[in-house]
Structure 1
């Protein structure tokens, strides 16, 4: 506990916020709770068969993990008081809430209200594994600040891969307006439940990974970087995607060098930090969008194909832009940009 408190304290000195992962749905098969607590603290052991049945989703056991019964007032109160205890003891800034859709909405509403009453600025990020943004938004309305954006994740995985196309990603971007607070959703490329993107993409995996990183680092939500993604770590299905961090790769990683440029852009460019997003032109194999704040803007263009592609993009403003990756200057005349995209090209054009 002292180590955690020291970590939070030192992070705060560096203007870094710390989130803990909090699991209210289940416990370990080896947990002492199974011995110490009465049986009505747990739902009867039953696998989820119909994943479209909300009652099954909330009452069933996932992966053989004992499912806590939040309908029991003792369990509900324990979980809420336990969460408040962690916040009070450690001074953390937020929680990533695990397996949110496997717990009743009434519980989450009471949980969020209890925390926000004591800590109004505390950030709650809900993991709701579902591809429908309207389904996710239901949990946002309960008081959970942001969602892990699985609809966007599906789009990312559909685009940045061998034979990938943009349709699902474009649709997810267009559905952004469904969320009431999309800017505080968490967006991600990899996580502990899925094969890493670089491995899933197979051929040209590193190129697709760099494109995916460029996308989430220039998109108006919160990027979540799963450890190792920033250095191009590979990993298949769970548990292969949970290998130890390969620190030796950090010394000479092309992906890490690229990621640092993206982090610098996100930290220092007002359009990327705070600007609106507007989809520009796209087809099945390339897409473009603009981030804009006042008179500043950044245009992002990507070619998903392994061959050159000539495109014409309609730009809503006329200005001079510089590619932050190559320093090449582009002059927008007549509100059009004609460009020959190279294979797997990434253009990050900053207004000058």
Structure 2
């Protein structure tokens, strides 16, 4: 019996071992990442023993989210295909500083979130799942009632001007600089985190960031620094690209992205033009972090709602663009359930895990495709067609060609490609299974309204002889198996 079963399994094993033609993954780089950003206090409440001064009905108070709550949801985040978790500030903050802007102690974690040991466990568990952890690192200012303000020997630690009414540190002061650099290295050594999201970069001298980047990388060579500069001035951005910061949040493109995808039937040309300008502005545009919304702006869902648009299709079109163009996708927690919200703090509402999972499934699908195809993270980009919301672009990388088609219109669309692609091949859809074969040197892509497809260019697939042979062998061997069993039964 064992021999018979082995004979049946052999063709199946041979079939499973056939190559699928995917491009072999290279060494992982941060441009291959995708970031899921969490406002810790608003994500998931798991440790109720630290729920003091909590009021879920007040948007300006703590709501109870904690480190353990994130640990409990790591599989959820990993399952959607994200590779990096971004966290709001973990520093100990003054009363009601759930957002992390009112730092009280740079060497302590916020007690509403848990202990340092729990945070270390979060980092370790994330690493075990292959997830990186990047935390917000605001060293521009401290809380309004910080103890340093009343210490005579720290009078020179502050500038006269304030930022948003908060005491601003004087980074030119050697004591301040030394303190902040040592503190930054301590966090890397102590917790093994993978990066900092640096806020208010433009408020701090270039020289400070030069030394900062050098010092933290003495502790961890591949430590990632993500700069948050809320400006639309290219000159300012260029000035801070030489300081050792790896990538920047792409505020230049954000308004065009929101405008372009918040409703259908409008030109996406402004998005294309800004993307082309980014190639000139940024030293490495592949490390640009692209986002639809974050903790500083109202939710993208609100853009759709105020125009009486269903947010689901709006998010699908926008996310497809983010995941298939050069740059690092940055997704604010709750986007996967189309969480609504206006300006701060309304954009930081409580996460709800009991809602519809349609968007979760969609993000999971496009993330899987992005993670498996280096052409989508490293390839060149060429826009082939764009008109009133229908866009088709091509990406190429080391022999692999991908074509992405996004129909952000209210009608079915047809686009014919010719000289842009090699003849006598086919476009295989990875998202919805569409198949477009070359006919007379042309590829005709047809998409329904508010749909997208991610294609790879491949050899034409005729009859799949290995598959047919393996299937036939299984059927034949199974019949032989039944005959032998029947004969044995008769003898007995």
Normalising to structure 1: TM-score of the pair? 0.88
Contact 1:158/1:168 (8 A) holds in 2: no
Structure 1 contact 97–127 (Cα < 8 Å) conserved: yes
Contact 1:165 1:304 in 2 (8 A): no
Q: Is 1:326 aligned to 2:432, yes or no? A: yes
Match of 2:232 in 1: 131
Are positions 1:27 and 2:134 aligned together?
Answer: no
Relative to structure 1, the CA distance from residue 321 to residue 282 in structure 2 (aligned partners, 3 Å threshold; closer, same or farther) is same
Mapping of residues 94-173 of structure 1, within 5 Å: 94-162=195-263, 164-173=266-275
Distance, in Å, in 2 between the alignment partners of 1:13 and 1:73 is 39
Matches within 5 A, 1:205-244: 205-244=311-350
For the 8 Å contact 1:130–1:151, the answer to whether it is kept is: yes
The alignment of Structure 1 onto Structure 2 pairs a total of residues equal to 335
Look up the SS of the partner of 2:236 in the other structure. helix
**Of 329-338 and 197-206, the range deviating more from structure 2:** 329-338
Asked if structure 2 preserves the Cα contact closer than 8 Å seen for 1:155 and 1:170, the reply is: no
Which SS does the other structure have where 1:10 is aligned?
helix
Does 2:159 match 1:43? Answer: yes
Q: Partners in 2 of 1:171 and 1:104 — Cα distance? A: 31
Counterparts of residues 178-197 of structure 1 (less than 5 Å): 178=280, 179-197=282-300
Mapped partners of 1:159, 1:345: distance in 2: 15
Contact 1:159–1:304 at 8 Å: present in 2 too? no
- Alpha-carbon distance, 1:206 to partner: 2.0
Q: Relative to 1, partners in 2 of residues 1:200 and 1:10: Cα closer, same or farther, differing over 3 Å?
A: same
Q: TM-score, normalised by structure 2?
A: 0.64
Question: How far 1:71 moved relative to its partner?
Answer: 2.0
The one-character-per-residue Cα deviations of 1:152-191 (angstroms, maximum 9, x if unpaired) are 3233112111365313211122123222222222221220
- Alignment root-mean-square deviation, CA: 2.1
Match of 1:86 among 179, 187, 193: 187
Q: Distance in 1 between matches of 2:182 and 2:267?
A: 47
The separation in 2 between residues aligned to 1:166 and 1:240, in whole angstroms, is 29
Conserved? CA contact 1:154–1:168, under 8 Å: no
Displacement of 1:291:
2.1
Pair 1:290–1:39, CA change in 2 (3 A): same
C-alpha distance 316-328 of structure 1, shift in aligned 2 (>3 A) = closer
How many Å apart are 1:118 and its aligned residue?
3.7
Distance 1:214 1:134, change over 3 A: farther
Q: Which residue of 1 aligns with 2:398?
A: 294
Question: What is the SS of the residue equivalent to 1:92?
Answer: coil
How many Å separate the matches in 1 of 2:313 and 2:268?
A: 16
Contact 2:228–2:249 at 8 Å: present in 1 too? yes
Q: Higher Cα Rg: structure 1 or 2?
A: 2
The whole-number CA distance in structure 2 between the counterparts of 1:175 and 1:313 is 26
- 1:307-318 equivalences in 2 (<5 Å): 307-314=411-418, 315-318=420-423
SS of equivalent to 1:27:
coil
Once residues 422 and 228 of structure 2 are traced to their aligned partners in structure 1, the CA distance between those partners, rounded to angstroms, is 38
Instruction: Output aligned runs, 1:244-259, within 5 Å.
Output: 244-249=350-355, 252-259=356-363
1:260 paired residue among 335, 342, 364:
364
The Cα of 1:96 is off from its aligned counterpart by: 0.6
How much does 1:132 deviate?
Answer: 4.2
Instruction: Tell me if the contact between 1:154 and 1:169 (Cα under 8 Å) persists in the aligned partners.
Output: no
Contact 2:317-2:452 within 8 A present in 1 as well: yes
Deviates more, 1:36-45 or 1:297-306: 36-45
- Structure 2 partner of 1:175: 277
Question: Shift of the alpha carbon at 1:24?
Answer: 1.4
State the secondary structure of the residue aligned to 2:166.
Answer: coil
Cα distance in structure 1, aligned partners of 2:410 and 2:203: 41
* Change in CA separation of 1:135 and 1:303 when aligned onto 2, cut-off 3 Å: farther
Larger mean CA deviation between 20-29 and 170-179 belongs to 170-179
Compare 68-77 and 84-93 and name the one that shifted more: 68-77
The structural deviation recorded for 1:269 is 2.0
Q: Bigger relative contact order, structure 1 or 2, given CA contacts below 8 A and separation 6+? A: 2
Q: Write the deviation string for residues 225-268 of structure 1: whole angstroms up to 9, x where unpaired.
A: 1111122211121111101111112xx32111111101111111
Structure 1 residue 100, shift from structure 2 partner:
0.8
Measured in 1, the distance between the counterparts of 2:237 and 2:441 equals 37
